[in-house]
Amino acid sequence: MKIVDFIREDLVIPALVGRSKADVLGELAAKLASTSAQVSQADLLRVLSERERLASTAIGDGVAIPHGKLDAVGHLVACIARAPEGVNFDAIDGRPTHIFFALVAPENSTGAHLKALARISRLFKGDPEFRSKLLAAQTAPAIYKLIADEDAKY
């Protein structure tokens, strides 16, 4: 499984507006909702927020992977967003979060969901230089290309 199998260039947010966890989750839900008329922003926000209440999805090193399951999506759907100034996302290392990779899968896709989470985690936690390049990129196409190029290495 490759990340480019479930992320597209139009699902990249180069600079989040929100500065709180709730605002960021709302922006991610709105972007994910744009992928299908059958998926509501409210449902996506509920799913991401419910998961976040269990424990923060900020895995440290400036990275968070908000995720959840919702049958309405039909297949894995994801978006990536950056917060250049950082957001307090209750990260395990206590540092601000700059890179958000939101993932939502159908309820019955546990295997694919877990594989996708592992792939995202490996890609974003592995190389500090890659994360620095992502933060320096200014446009959605540039961010997408960096992810696609790094994803191709694994």
* pLDDT at residue 29 in the model: 97
- The CB-based long-range contact list for 143-146 (8 Å cut-off, 24+ gap) reads 143/12, 143/14, 143/80, 143/82, 144/7, 144/8, 144/9, 144/12
Domain boundaries, the chain: 3-152
pLDDT in tens, 28-70: 999 999 988 889 999 999 999 999 999 999 999 999 999 999 9
Catalytic residues, by residue number, are: 67
C-alpha span between 109 and 95 (Å, rounded)? 32
Q: What is the pLDDT of residue 145?
A: 96
**Which positions of the chain have pLDDT values less than 50?**
none
Task: Name the CATH superfamily, with its identifier, for domain 3-152.
Answer: Mannitol-specific EII; Chain A (3.40.930.10)
**pLDDT for the residue numbered 124:** 87
For the entire predicted model, the pTM comes to: 0.94
Interatomic CA distance for residues 60 and 105, integer angstroms: 23
How much is the pLDDT for 139? 96
